[in-house]
Amino acid sequence: MNLIVNEQYNIGHICTRQQCDLGFGPKTALRWVSAHHEKTDYSFVELDRESNRFANVLQGLGFSTGDIFFTFLPKAPEQFFSFLGGLKLQVICGTLFSSFGEDAILDRLGDAGAKGIVTKKSLVKKILRVRDQLPKLQYIIVTDIEEHQSADILSFWQLMRDASTDFIAPLTSADTPSVLHYTSGSTGKPKGVLHVHGSVLHQSATAVQVLTLCDSDVYWCTADQGWVTGTSYGIIAPWTLGVTQLHYGGGYNAKTWFDLLEQESVTIWYSAPTALRMLLQEDDDVFSGCDLSQLRHIFSVGEPLNPEVIAWAERVLGHTVYDTWFQTETGGIMISNRPGVTVRPGSMGIPVAGVEAAIITDDGTVLGDGEQGNLCLKPGWPSMFVTYLNNTAVYGQKFRSGYYFTGDTALRDQDGYYWFKGRSDDVINTAGHLISPFEIESALLEIDEVAESGVIGAPDDLLYEKVVAFVCLHSRFEYSKQLELKIRLHVSNKASSIATPQEIIVVDSIPKNKSGKIMRRVLKALYLGEDAGDISTLET
C-alpha cells in the first residue's frame, strides 16, 4: 500500500483520515491510560474527528499555513489532537517538555514567533511571566479549564465543543513545513529544527524496517512528545501504519510499566537507556511473574545503550534490546541494531536503507574503518531538517564536504557497525536530553551569589551524563545548604528540571581562555582527575 496517495503528504491526514479510508476507522488508534489508570480508547475515526475539530479551532482563531503553535503539555490526549489538527491545517507544530521553565519557554516561543500555545492550567503561570516579551503570542489554549478566561486565555474544550468534526486537509506538498523541535548547542540559544511533511516517508519506512511495526501491533513508545522520538515515533510513524498506540500519563514505575506491557499485550516497546537502567536496578522479582509472551521486540534510543543492559534484558525479560540512533535534525532513525541483523552490544548498529554514513575528519577527509572522527551523513534522506529557524548561517555550517556533520564522534568497524564515542562539542546528554551548558551557565549567573559559572557533563551510571556545575561565588557570600537549594530551584524553574545540576562544586575561579571563553574541557579534566592537555590559551 502506498503511503502517499494523490501526492498528499499531509502528516495529519495520513495518520487519521487515510487510515479510515484504508478500513482502520473503527480500530483503536490510541489507548490512553491516565496516571490513575483510567483507560480511554480512541479509534482512528475519533482521532480523525478530534484532530479535525482542532484544525477548525485554529482556523477559526485565524491560523493559516506557516503559522506556528506549540504544545506545552504532559502526556495527554489533547497533545495528539492538537498536533495532528495543526498539521492538517499546515500550521507548524512545536512541542515543549512540560518541565521547561520560563526562560526555556521564552527562548523557544520568542524565536519561533509563536502565535498560540496549548497547555495546562498549572503551566499557564510560567507563560504569563514572560508574556510581555512575546508580542506575537495571541492565544493560550488551556486544556483543563471549563470556560474561556479572557479574550486570549481560552478553554480548549469549549473551543472544541463549538468546532465542526469535518475538515479536509489541503493538498500538502512534501516540502511544506511541519514540525518544529528546539535543540541545544554548546553556545548560544537553542535552535529551532524545522521539518517538513515529506519526513513522513522516512519515519514510516523505518517504523517498518527497524521497529518491524505492522497493523496488528500494539506499540508503546515511552518518549515524551517534547522529544523528537515522541513525535516521529510516538505519534507519526505508527499511525501511518494503522498501529494501535498505548500512551500512559503516569511517570516511571517498574511495576506499573510491566503491568501495562502485560495487560495491554504490548508487542513492540520503544524506550530509553536511562529507563532500562532504572529497571535493571529493580529486584528481578518485579519481572518474574510478568507474562511478556506478546512482546516481540524492545528498542531503545537517546543515549548509548550499555552491553550490560542488553545482557540483563536477555536474561530477565527474555528479549534483546535493539539500540537505535538518530537526532532531532535527522527526524528519523539513521543507524540501528534491528531484528534480522546481528546485534553487537554497545554499538549503534548499521545505517538503515537510504542512509549513507561516514567518519570524517574536521577538514573533510573520509576516514577508514577503525578510525575515530566526526559521524557524518550524506544529505538527502526524506526526514532531514530543512533549516534552523532564523539561523540559516548555523544550518549552513552543519554541511561541509558534501556531508551533514552530526556533532557526534564515532568509528566504524570492519563489518560496518558504528560505535558512538562522544560529542564533538560541549553539549550534555543527560537521560537522552541534549542540554546546553551555556543555558545553565546563564541561569546560574542570574543568581545574586554567583559571580562565574561553568557547566560540564560528567559520566553517570544511570543518566549517561550528569550535569555538574562549577560556581565561583562573590566574595561576600558563603556556600550553604540554602544556597544549594536556591541554585537547584532556580535552574529547575528557569530552564528545566532536566537541566538541574546533579553536583555543584564551588571553585575560586572558572578557567577561561584569553578571549574569555569558558574552558569546559579543563573543568572536565579537573572533575575526572585527568590531564587537561594543552592549556596554553588559559587566561591566568
Say how many C-beta atoms besides its own lie within 10 A of residue 363's C-beta: 7
Taking residues 77 to 116 in sequence order and writing x for each that binds other proteins by CB under 8 A, - otherwise, the string is ---------------------xx-x---------------
Instruction: State the Cα–Cα distance between residues 409 and 424, nearest whole angstrom.
Output: 6
Contact status: 40 vs other proteins (CB under 8 A): no
Instruction: State the Cα–Cα distance between residues 501 and 489, nearest whole angstrom.
Output: 10
Q: Pick the closer one to other proteins by CB: 101 or 177.
A: 101
Q: Pick the closer one to other proteins by CB: 209 or 274.
A: 274
Contact status: 460 vs other proteins (CB under 8 A): no
Taking residues 174 to 213 in sequence order and writing x for each that binds other proteins by CB under 8 A, - otherwise, the string is ----------------------------------------
Q: Pick the closer one to other proteins by CB: 17 or 247.
A: 247
**From the CB of 104, what's the least distance to other proteins, in Å?**
12
Nearest to 269 by CA among 234, 302, 235, 304: 234
Contact status: 251 vs other proteins (CB under 8 A): yes
Q: Are 261 and 317 in contact (CB under 8 A)?
A: no
Q: Are 229 and 206 in contact (CB under 8 A)?
A: no
Instruction: State the Cα–Cα distance between residues 151 and 142, nearest whole angstrom.
Output: 13
**From the CB of 36, what's the least distance to other proteins, in Å?**
7
How many residues make contact with other proteins (CB under 8 A)?
Answer: 28
Which range binds other proteins by CB under 8 A, 87-95, 154-162, 189-197, 486-494? Answer: 486-494
Beta strands in 127-285 (DSSP E): 139-142, 153-155, 177-183, 191-196, 218-221, 244-248, 268-271
Q: Pick the closer one to other proteins by CB: 39 or 514.
A: 39
Contact status: 126 vs other proteins (CB under 8 A): yes
Contact residue for other proteins among 25, 110, 249, 346 (CB under 8 A): 249
Instruction: State the Cα–Cα distance between residues 444 and 452, nearest whole angstrom.
Output: 8
Residues 324-348, buried b or exposed e (16+ Cβ, 10 A)? bbbbbbbbbbbbbbbeeeebbbbbb
Contact residue for other proteins among 91, 104, 123, 428 (CB under 8 A): 123
Instruction: State the Cα–Cα distance between residues 249 and 383, nearest whole angstrom.
Output: 28
For 536, the grid coordinates are 596554553
**From the CB of 466, what's the least distance to other proteins, in Å?**
10
Which range binds other proteins by CB under 8 A, 60-68, 131-139, 377-385, 498-506? Answer: 498-506
Contact status: 152 vs other proteins (CB under 8 A): no
Q: Which residues, in sequence order, are CB contacts of 161 under 8 Å at separation 6+?
A: none
Contact residue for other proteins among 1, 6, 7, 36 (CB under 8 A): 36
Contact status: 128 vs other proteins (CB under 8 A): no
- Looking at the chain, the number of H-run helices and the number of E-run strands are 18, 27
Q: Given the rule CB under 8 A, which residues bind other proteins?
A: 35-36, 74, 98-99, 101, 120-123, 125-126, 249-252, 481-482, 484-485, 488-489, 492-493, 497-498, 500, 502
